Amino acid sequence: MTLTGMKKHVGVLEQAGLVSTEKVGRVRTCKLGLRGLEEEAAWIERYRQLWAARFDELDIVVEELKRKEKANGRKKRK
Amino acid sequence: MDVRRESEATPTKNRTGVERKSERELVVTRTVNAPARLVFEAWTKAELFRRWWVPKSYGLTLLSCEMDVRVGGQYRLVFRHEDSTMEFFGTYLEVTPHSRLVWTNEEGDNGKTVTTVTFDENAGKTLLVVHDLYPSKEALDSGSTDAMPEALDQLDELLASLGSSTETQ
């Protein structure tokens, strides 16, 4: 990887809050915010589970609507 | 409890995807095995919406759910959780039957979050895309950590117990 490529790469990680960097003289030191990454993954997964649970309930409601529609004999031709 | 309907063709569950699109955007996707007009109905009629928006497993009681689904109309959801109540409210910005809903979430301290839901029907199924645009990165990050933490913990417990004790049902 070129130095410019590396800079860009680190820049993206830094923007995402996954690493922090500090420049002292000519040297830029990177600190890895790995915990931040894990935390983010964990809450995204929790958020996903919430929505998955929600959508499972939505499926039940929608199935009921489908059955009702069928029972009412409403047929819509495509 | 609910009626058991195990035998009746439980359709294979569709996967729920979550992606953080940017510092301020969170996108949830899911396919529902039904035409868009029915899915849209479930999102826009309060008596249907209240049945699924708060999963039963949540330990939250939905005290009231008012939805005036038209452009400029308001919604307000009031929950009880243990000894406190929580309110979620906002305004519908766009209502396009069977295809698109946009509303604001005005309960936060950090400005308005805008939620856009699109209903995309294909071969009798509907792809739902729920897009949340937060007013700032901080609002998204704080929302992720303090939005109903107890409820999420309960959900975690429930999911864990479901995973380990399916045979007891």
Looking at residue B149, its pLDDT comes to 45
In a domain, B120, yes or no: yes
Note down the domain range covering B70.
17-52+60-138
Instruction: Look at chain B and report how many structural domains it folds into.
Output: 1
Instruction: Look at chain A and report how many structural domains it folds into.
Output: 2
Chain B nearest-CA distance from A15, in A, is 9
**Is A66–B17 a contact, with Cβ atoms under 8 angstroms apart?**
no
In a domain, B155, yes or no: no
pLDDT(B9) > 70: no
- From residue B13, give the alpha-carbon distance in Å to each of B5, B16, B30, B86: 15, 9, 10, 31
pLDDT for B118-160, tens place per residue? 999 999 999 999 999 999 888 887 765 444 444 445 555 655 6
In a domain, A78, yes or no: no
pTM of the model: 0.70
For chain B, the average pLDDT equals: 82
- Please say whether the beta carbons of B32 and A52 come within 8 A: no
In a domain, B87, yes or no: yes
Q: Would you call A54 an interface residue with chain B, using a CB distance cutoff of 8 Å?
A: yes
Same domain as A38, residue A20: no
**Is B144–A69 a contact, with Cβ atoms under 8 angstroms apart?**
no
Chain B positions touching A46 (Cβ under 8 A) are: 152, 155-156
In a domain, B44, yes or no: yes
In a domain, B169, yes or no: no
Q: Which residue of B has its CA nearest to A39?
A: B145
Joined together, the tokens standing for residue A63 give: 């199935």
Nearest to B100 by CA among B51, B43, B22: B43
Which residue in A51, A60, A62 is closest to B18 by CB distance? A51
Q: Is B16 helix (H, G, I), strand (E, B) or coil?
A: coil
In a domain, B106, yes or no: yes
Task: Name the interface residues of B facing A (CB cutoff 8 Å).
Answer: 11, 13-14, 16-18, 20, 23, 26, 28, 30, 32-34, 38-39, 41-42, 48, 51-58, 128, 130, 144-145, 152, 155-156, 159
pLDDT for B100-123, tens place per residue? 999 999 987 778 999 999 999 999
Chain B nearest-CA distance from A56, in A, is 8
In a domain, B2, yes or no: no
The CATH number linked to B34 is 3.30.530.20
DSSP strand pairing (B74-81 vs B61-67):
antiparallel
Note down the domain range covering A45.
34-73
**Average pLDDT, integer, range B27-32:** 96
In a domain, B117, yes or no: yes
